[in-house]
Structure 1
Amino acid sequence: RPGQVLLDYAKTFDAEEAAALSDALVALERDTGWKLRVVTGYGSEYPSVDQLFKYFAADRKTILMTADEFKGNVIEFYYDTSSLRDVVPKNVFQEIRGRYGNKYYTDEEGLAPAVYTAADTLRGCLAKGGCKFVPGLSQQQREFSLIAVTSGGFLFGAVARGGVSAWTWVFCAIWVPWVGMFGFYPLYVRQPEDLTPLYQNAGIFAAIAAATALSPV
């Protein structure tokens, strides 16, 4: 049907979900000019990418997202890289696929939520003019940041307890980039609107560093 933005060959969505996603994609095109089109299916049961691009009258501002639950990663994106390079770089598409298209996520959450969330995440990036990172923290990223600040706090406390020596600068070269890049930076750039996790990590780092530095052992 002309004007369709969602082709749900796999019957992934119920009527309410399909309407909500379609409305969001139509609004995105109206407000920004970006055309995000979503197609679900199984293997050869839906048209080829070329046929889909033709069906949607794709141009340089069209992004085709397909979802096939029989693939290793259910989500694929097809788009003109030159048009999106400075708006949504390749790493964002890769992370959306890795976060929402993997089998573990789809088995735990279901295919419909995975496809909807992936499409809505990209829609959100395009709606605000682009993004360099996928907004929000995954559970794995949050856990990794906690590991970074915990180990970094321990190293800082151990160095402080032992006094300044030649080894101090060696340890600094290890834990400063480690804690900064993995313990704090992702929390700031991925969800600047809510810095609570950043403050929590800072508190954990300070507490562990102080406890280690003051430990009599």
Structure 2
Amino acid sequence: MELPQPPVPVLDLADQLTSNQEAQLAEHLNRLEEETGWKLRVLTQFDQTPGRQVKEYWGLNERSVLMVADPRGGNLLAFNVGDAVREILPRTFWIELQSRFGNQFYVREHGTQRAILETVDVLDRCFHQGGCRVVPGLPQEQWILTLLTSILGGIVFGFAGKPRHAEELFNWRWALLISPLWFILFGAFGIGPVITRTQDWLPLVRNILGFLAGALVIYLAPIAQPAAEQQ
């Protein structure tokens, strides 16, 4: 396949971008390479595919990332990542990035163009700040999941702390005994994904309130005792 000369940073063989978007994206990628030394190249393909030809065409090396947008597969996005890049952007980062912007639901709702441009923006941000362990930003559906796990953690905490006799106000012994469960739900799955992906305090506050609400509701809810205990 004959490719444009001199080399351009964007090969839109599938015509997924407008001419203005392609020009702006090319300028963006050139500026990224000048400012950080990391090379990001974008290829869209459908019927036409240059295959391994792009490696020599772009001079891809250990400091390069090739992003391929191909709508024929189950996921729009695929990445070819250099060894040096993997040191600052681990494998889990690429899996999350592909899942967030390349899945069929996102592409169907927002379009291929936005999926490509949003992915480039995330990579630009991570390269400029010296790397990312997770993908920045907290999508609505992911925040809802963290809220639900926070509430569930609160329910477990509140149930464990329910008094077992009249003189007891809160059963700290059981709450501490079951702490690995409610702490994982609230800390690891409820709070962790929020503080690692966004500096916005509102989702964090909502998750904390969700935990407290879940704990309070189950703590105050009357639970009938077995008949043997009532006698």
Q: Could you tell me the TM-score, scaled by structure 2's length?
A: 0.85
Retained in 1: the 8 A contact 2:76–2:103? yes
Q: Secondary structure at the match of 1:133?
A: coil
1:206 to 208, 212, 215: 212
C-alpha separation in 2, matches of 1:187 and 1:195: 9
Spell out, residue by residue over 1:37-73, the C-alpha distance to the aligned partner (whole angstroms, 9 max, x if none): 0000114x0200x210110122221111111111111
C-alpha separation in 1, matches of 2:112 and 2:185: 35
Q: Secondary structure at the match of 1:86?
A: helix
Note the residue ranges of structure 1 that are not aligned, 5 or more in a row: none
1:57 partnered with 2:59: yes
1:188 to 177, 195, 198: 195
Retained in 1: the 8 A contact 2:67–2:79? yes
Partner of 1:100: 101
Spell out, residue by residue over 1:137-170, the C-alpha distance to the aligned partner (whole angstroms, 9 max, x if none): 1233212101111111112222222342764444
Give the superposition deviation at 1:214: 3.1
Spell out, residue by residue over 1:165-184, the C-alpha distance to the aligned partner (whole angstroms, 9 max, x if none): 76444422211122100100
Spell out, residue by residue over 1:156-215, the C-alpha distance to the aligned partner (whole angstroms, 9 max, x if none): 222222342764444222111221001001100111x21221111112212332233234
Note the residue ranges of structure 2 that are not aligned, 5 or more in a row: 164-169, 224-231
1:2 to 3, 6, 20: 6
Give the superposition deviation at 1:30: 0.7
Retained in 2: the 8 A contact 1:145–1:182? yes
Letter paired with 2:180: A
The 5 Å alignment of 1:151-162 reads: 151-162=152-163
The 5 Å alignment of 1:86-165 reads: 86-162=87-163, 163-164=170-171
Pair member with larger Rg: 2
Letter paired with 1:204: G
Partner of 2:44: 40
Partner of 1:17: 21
C-alpha separation in 2, matches of 1:165 and 1:8: 61
Retained in 2: the 8 A contact 1:187–1:195? no
Q: Could you tell me the TM-score, scaled by structure 1's length?
A: 0.91
Retained in 2: the 8 A contact 1:67–1:76? yes
Q: 1:165 to 1:137 in 2, by over 3 A?
A: closer
Retained in 2: the 8 A contact 1:188–1:198? yes
C-alpha separation in 2, matches of 1:35 and 1:85: 13
Partner of 1:84: 85
Higher helix share: 1
Q: 1:165 to 1:30 in 2, by over 3 A?
A: closer
**Percent pairwise identity:** 33
Number of residues of Structure 1 aligned to a counterpart in Structure 2: 213
Cα-Cα RMSD? 1.8
Q: Structure 1 runs of 4+ off > 4 angstroms?
A: none
